[in-house]
Amino acid sequence: MTHDDFEKTCMAFKYRQPPQAFVVELCDGRQILLADPRGLVFNPPAVGYLSPDDELVNFSCEQVRAFSRLVPETAS
């Protein structure tokens, strides 16, 4: 993923209204759930995420394979 695409995608998720959780899939197969994207902090060339549990996770464009929006479950 390019630096420009990485930054644009992170900004779009951070400022989406209403905020929606999303998943960052890393190249090593790990997935990071960002429950509240307002916790994203930009520190180029990386992004930090402060989770609701006060855990800090850092990732950079070189580590990211994809971003995925979580689809809310519907009641059946």
In a domain, 75, yes or no: no
Task: Please give the tally of structural domains in the chain.
Answer: 1
Burial of 27 (0-12, 13-18, 19+ CB in 10 A): exposed
Domain that holds residue 56: 3-69
- Give the separation between CA 50 and CA 1, rounded to whole angstroms: 22
Predicted TM-score (pTM) of this structure: 0.83
In a domain, 44, yes or no: yes
The tens digit of pLDDT for each residue in 20-74 reads 999 999 999 999 999 999 989 998 889 999 887 888 999 999 999 999 998 766 5
Domain with residue 52: its CATH number is 2.30.30.100
